[in-house]
Structure 1
Amino acid sequence: MSRTAVTSLLALSALVLTACSSAGGSTGADAGPPRPGGTLRLGISSSPDCVDPQQAGTNASLNVGRQLVDSLTDQDPSTGEIRPWLAEKWESNADSTAFTFHLRDGATFSDNTPVDAAAVKTSFDAVKALGPKATLGSGYLAVYKGTTVVDPKTVKIEFSVPSAQFLQASSTMSLGILAPAAYRKTPDERCQGVGLIGSGPFVFESLKQNQEIVLAKRKGYGWGSSLFKHQGEAYLDKIAYKIVPEPGVRTGSLASAQLDAITDVQPVDEPQFTGNGFTEPTRPNPGIVFNLQANVTRGVLTDEKVRQAVLKGINRPEVTSTVLTPNYKAATSILGSATPFHADLSPLLAYDPAGATSLLESSGWVPGPDGIRTKNGQRLTAKVVFSLVFNQNKSVLELVQQQLRKIGFDLQIEQRTTAESVQITQSGNYEYLWYNTTRADPDILRNLFSTKANNRSKLTADNPVDAPLDAQSSTVDPAKRKPAAEEAQRAIIEHGYSAPVFELTQVLAHGPNAHGVGFEASSRLQLFDAWVSGS
């Protein structure tokens, strides 16, 4: 299918609600037109573990890496539409196993070598060769066969099985293009910025571990994404990422004008940056929402009625209004509302303790002396493993625990380190997993639920989700992909494979001198259009 056909269908599909907002503060109109120059002092919550976008996995790292590389395509945050960037146009074959990209003229890397077909091939081959070091890219290229240089401006990228998800993946910084010379350095060196040569609007300047990362404007840049608000060079001379882990120190530094903007504003701190010259840009993360994913082979979770009762026993609006803030949305599906082909399944996720009680009683679970139900001597209990990748995770789960006690279900909360949680996930030794995963494409469901992929719910081959997940993976045609993605979401909820709770939201704050700090489709920072004004 041609890119033109895909674009027109996407435009008709109303895939994603517009999901960016800001509250209070100085507007661009107040500050006048954008002006070049200056340094954006941006406070971030953790030290990036790697600034090479092809290896990065954390938000902190990706928020740096996005500014250093261009991608073949870009994705419109409002519609999910794939738009031109380094590639002017593209086509895919009928079963989405081959994608041909036609590159624009004039783009160069920061070593002044051209962004041509040979460079694209070298870059994709190198990402594949990184294996698990390519934290996100390895998944996008799991069935990558190779790249063929058709001519200096044309590349053909092929996969061994249908991979419709690759079109969206081509818009990510994880598959951003690096210069061939970059691969003369080791992956570890590139992680530290050594030899990290991209074609992006900024170049790496310096890194002081756990203190600061500085990027500088790429002089002569003139091949920005078609989604950028202006063309030519970036406005900012420099971006200084200041690592400030403590939320109170971060917010205090913004309030006292030691920083121009900060990421990861905590719910308790949001009110102080609403108005008073401050602005709070927000955007919900696309992909899988924070949820309890069930291992259907373990304990009481083998009983589908138990899993369905848990769905009905969670009061999602109470979670967002009590523990979080209005910036966070109650889940309406396993996919967040900013994800292309999100299906609004709110009726299936309505708080219904009476319905939960009916399901449990029909399955033989009766109240015990402490209020927790039992069946043939077995308590109605399951353990959830979680880590503090989001500061409010424990508070959210404690509230969910209280809610589920009301229907006689004992949710036991087990906090682990992030590394321990990863190990437990890989081992399969869990009942419930608590997590979210960001990706602006519904194929993330196939990655985590399909029996042909990670299969976190440990489903059997006769499950109802594999077929629609395979169907959405086999075509880039939205008219065919959308119903398949919706069918998969519905099956996941109806069978209780997951109990979605809330959508993670990125909450930024900036003072009156920072403008144009924006999000790309994966809710990571896009700073090409950012600028600073005088005090």
Structure 2
Amino acid sequence: MAVVLCLGLGLAACSSSDDGGGGTAAPGLGAARGGGTLTVAVASKPLCLDPQNNSSNGNTAISRQLVSSLTDQDPATGKIVPWLASKFEVGASATEFTFTLRPGATFSDGAPVDAAAVRANFDTIVRLGAVDAVAASYLTSYQGTTVVDSHTAKVTFSRPNAQFLQATSTAALGLLSPASLALAPEERCQGRGLAGAGPFVLKEAVQGTEIRLTRRADYAWGSPVWKHQGAAYLDGIDYKVVPESGVRVGSLLSGQVDTVIGVDARDERRLAAGGATELSRPVPGITYNLTANTERPLLADASVRKALTKGIDRATIVRTLLSDHYRPATSILTSSTPAYTDLSADLAHDPAGARALLDAAGWRPGGDGIRTRDGVRLAPTLIYPGVDTASRNVLQLVQSQLREIGVDVQLSGLPLNQLAPDQDAGRYDLLWFGLTRADPDVLSTVFATTTKNRAHLPAGNPLDTLLAKQSETLDAAERAALVGQAQRQIVQEAYSLPVYEQAQSVAFAGRVQAVALDGSAQPAFFDAWLAN
């Protein structure tokens, strides 16, 4: 089987099967059948198994299997559909959202998925907002949840919240049992006592090497987006931590694992030659980018930030190091995100223009070509996940390109347990990351001063105003216009330097059937089954 390349825009999934990655078997393999454990190689041990506490792609790839959400997002259309809720109603002002819950759904510890559990989840997320601002940002202006009756929950906000319905489809707002919510965040992250209402439950987490999930036999409240109802086909999923991409691919081709999450572009031809299948789709949300800490002396000057933007040759990066799955960034949002605006003209490679900006700002080339001003070298520190070899390769090329304009970027690959504290404390000039979400309010999560504020902007700045307005605007065209203005503000002021659009890729052996990618491009294994 050849590697499948997916280049489509929007939210359509791409798959090697003809049904978008659902439950149809390949020719000659017969009907789907239960049994067997799927072994999956991942790049790193998740820092946190609690989806409400850490929403990085690596964590969510595992924790998504443990929780169900009130709604789901159809990956083919982007439509929000009921899941744990049998129906939902949005008030005219989008300050009230009423969810009618499906009867019979329970958490893996036996507690019912009822309106009181919904209230406990949202109240706890808001109370622990400082632990991880992603889930809390989805509940901005949250006033409370009213238990109308055991199967009806009314969620109320003090201001219109245009993004909340889509947020209820994400793993970050996946529901946990009340007993799990009562645990300390550290215990939840380690998986001890973590009980969701998902199709799989956590069996064991072997420190640093392996995470084992088992099928929940009584699961009967699957998403209508999925291809079958009832329990999952697989008996379990065994995630093995294999840091090196080449070793992950080798393990797949040799039969040591069945599936690989996260395929480096350099390994795609090797997969094709070895008979593996690759499932890929564009990732909605924030592009992989370098966000500038505008409070740091080197990047407080917009001229310097704009020069860095002009010094990056995005097309060469994608052509040289990535593949046809990826695209050069043309905005801070990826082109598969609703309300994306094409700002490619603002991101054109222009080294002469970059040099002119730095000259005008008083940065003069030294003997080694690196610019200085008042005895200070233009050598910003860039932090990124040290385990991510693909990112390191990209950043080394960015480093080389920026040296051409006289900037000596200092790359600092940090272990994950150090990266998060340094991000939160602002100990960086440039921060490398991307963030997945199929709603443009992902901009608020990253740039609003009330949430992560990765650019360290002052409260009440013009971008804050735009982000607040779009979050309260119900008219789709008006909201898209505001989101477009916000993108322009971020790109033209160079609060962030977009580099490329990410694609999520999952590779698997021939016996693995019906793997899918959900609305956030996360692997979905509910319909997956093993042919032999």
The unaligned stretches of length 5 or more in structure 2 are 1-7
SS at match of 1:425: helix
Aligned to 1:400: 398
- Number of residues of Structure 1 aligned to a counterpart in Structure 2: 520
Q: Shift in Å at residue 501 of structure 1?
A: 0.7
- Identity over aligned residues, as a percent? 49
Aligned to 1:290: 288
Where do 1:42-191 residues align within 5 Å? 42-111=40-109, 113-133=111-131, 136-141=134-139, 143-183=141-181, 187-191=185-189
Amino acid at match of 2:230: G
Alignment match of 2:221 (pick from 220, 223, 231): 223
Q: Shift in Å at residue 530 of structure 1?
A: 0.9
Deviations 1:358-399 (Å, cap 9, x if unpaired)? 444555655554434556766555333333252223322221
Distance 1:169 1:192, change over 3 A: same
| Cα contact 2:284–2:336 (8 A) shared by 1 | yes
Amino acid at match of 2:481: P
* More off after superposition, 326-335 vs 107-116: 107-116
SS at match of 2:277: coil
Distance 1:187 1:387, change over 3 A: closer
Q: Shift in Å at residue 261 of structure 1?
A: 0.9
SS at match of 1:508: strand
Q: Does residue 29 of structure 1 match 2:23?
A: no
Q: Shift in Å at residue 473 of structure 1?
A: 0.9
Amino acid at match of 2:10: V
Distance 1:410 1:247, change over 3 A: closer
Q: Does residue 16 of structure 1 match 2:13?
A: no
Amino acid at match of 1:163: N
Distance 1:504 1:157, change over 3 A: same
Distance 1:65 1:271, change over 3 A: same
| Cα contact 1:267–1:325 (8 A) shared by 2 | yes
In the alignment, the residues of structure 1 paired with residue 124 and residue 410 of structure 2 have an alpha-carbon distance, to the nearest angstrom, of 43
In the alignment, the residues of structure 2 paired with residue 452 and residue 50 of structure 1 have an alpha-carbon distance, to the nearest angstrom, of 23
Aligned to 1:310: 308
| Cα contact 2:34–2:233 (8 A) shared by 1 | yes
Deviations 1:263-297 (Å, cap 9, x if unpaired)? 22233322211254311112333322222222334
Distance 1:395 1:45, change over 3 A: closer
Deviations 1:165-195 (Å, cap 9, x if unpaired)? 3222211222212333545665555445444
Alignment match of 2:233 (pick from 228, 232, 235): 235
Amino acid at match of 1:529: D
Aligned to 1:319: 317
In the alignment, the residues of structure 2 paired with residue 303 and residue 99 of structure 1 have an alpha-carbon distance, to the nearest angstrom, of 43
In the alignment, the residues of structure 1 paired with residue 183 and residue 413 of structure 2 have an alpha-carbon distance, to the nearest angstrom, of 38
| Cα contact 1:23–1:275 (8 A) shared by 2 | no
| Cα contact 1:230–1:529 (8 A) shared by 2 | yes
In the alignment, the residues of structure 2 paired with residue 504 and residue 464 of structure 1 have an alpha-carbon distance, to the nearest angstrom, of 28
| Cα contact 1:15–1:80 (8 A) shared by 2 | no
* More off after superposition, 491-500 vs 213-222: 213-222
Distance 1:250 1:376, change over 3 A: closer
In the alignment, the residues of structure 1 paired with residue 134 and residue 454 of structure 2 have an alpha-carbon distance, to the nearest angstrom, of 18
In the alignment, the residues of structure 1 paired with residue 15 and residue 346 of structure 2 have an alpha-carbon distance, to the nearest angstrom, of 28
Aligned to 2:334: 336
| Cα contact 2:333–2:440 (8 A) shared by 1 | yes
Q: Does residue 500 of structure 1 match 2:481?
A: no
Alignment match of 1:278 (pick from 258, 263, 276): 276
Aligned to 1:9: none
Amino acid at match of 2:243: P
| Cα contact 2:66–2:202 (8 A) shared by 1 | yes
Aligned to 1:266: 264
Alignment match of 2:411 (pick from 392, 413, 417): 413
In the alignment, the residues of structure 2 paired with residue 431 and residue 240 of structure 1 have an alpha-carbon distance, to the nearest angstrom, of 38
Aligned to 1:6: none
Alignment match of 1:346 (pick from 344, 347, 351): 344
Amino acid at match of 1:354: A
Distance 1:516 1:427, change over 3 A: same
In the alignment, the residues of structure 1 paired with residue 208 and residue 518 of structure 2 have an alpha-carbon distance, to the nearest angstrom, of 25
Alignment match of 1:383 (pick from 381, 384, 398): 381
| Cα contact 2:88–2:98 (8 A) shared by 1 | yes
In the alignment, the residues of structure 1 paired with residue 444 and residue 182 of structure 2 have an alpha-carbon distance, to the nearest angstrom, of 35
Deviations 1:171-222 (Å, cap 9, x if unpaired)? 1222212333545665555445444333222233333333433323222433
In the alignment, the residues of structure 1 paired with residue 296 and residue 185 of structure 2 have an alpha-carbon distance, to the nearest angstrom, of 40
SS at match of 1:46: coil
SS at match of 1:205: strand
Amino acid at match of 2:68: D
| Cα contact 1:95–1:475 (8 A) shared by 2 | no
Q: Shift in Å at residue 533 of structure 1?
A: 0.3
| Cα contact 2:26–2:513 (8 A) shared by 1 | no
SS at match of 1:341: coil
In the alignment, the residues of structure 1 paired with residue 390 and residue 275 of structure 2 have an alpha-carbon distance, to the nearest angstrom, of 27
Amino acid at match of 2:297: G
Q: Does residue 207 of structure 1 match 2:205?
A: yes
TM value normalised by structure 1: 0.86
In the alignment, the residues of structure 2 paired with residue 419 and residue 192 of structure 1 have an alpha-carbon distance, to the nearest angstrom, of 14
Amino acid at match of 2:12: T
Q: Shift in Å at residue 21 of structure 1?
A: 5.0
Alignment match of 2:509 (pick from 501, 508, 511): 511
Aligned to 1:522: 520
Deviations 1:334-381 (Å, cap 9, x if unpaired)? 122332322222222122223334444555655554434556766555
| Cα contact 2:9–2:282 (8 A) shared by 1 | no
In the alignment, the residues of structure 2 paired with residue 377 and residue 238 of structure 1 have an alpha-carbon distance, to the nearest angstrom, of 60
TM value normalised by structure 2: 0.87
Aligned to 1:438: 436
Q: Shift in Å at residue 114 of structure 1?
A: 3.6
In the alignment, the residues of structure 1 paired with residue 253 and residue 497 of structure 2 have an alpha-carbon distance, to the nearest angstrom, of 38
SS at match of 1:280: strand
| Cα contact 2:105–2:221 (8 A) shared by 1 | yes
| Cα contact 1:23–1:280 (8 A) shared by 2 | no
SS at match of 2:328: coil
In the alignment, the residues of structure 1 paired with residue 444 and residue 54 of structure 2 have an alpha-carbon distance, to the nearest angstrom, of 22
Q: Shift in Å at residue 302 of structure 1?
A: 3.5
| Cα contact 1:518–1:526 (8 A) shared by 2 | yes
In the alignment, the residues of structure 2 paired with residue 181 and residue 379 of structure 1 have an alpha-carbon distance, to the nearest angstrom, of 54
Distance 1:206 1:274, change over 3 A: same
SS at match of 1:392: helix
SS at match of 2:224: coil
| Cα contact 2:133–2:451 (8 A) shared by 1 | no
The unaligned stretches of length 5 or more in structure 1 are 1-13
Q: Shift in Å at residue 129 of structure 1?
A: 4.2
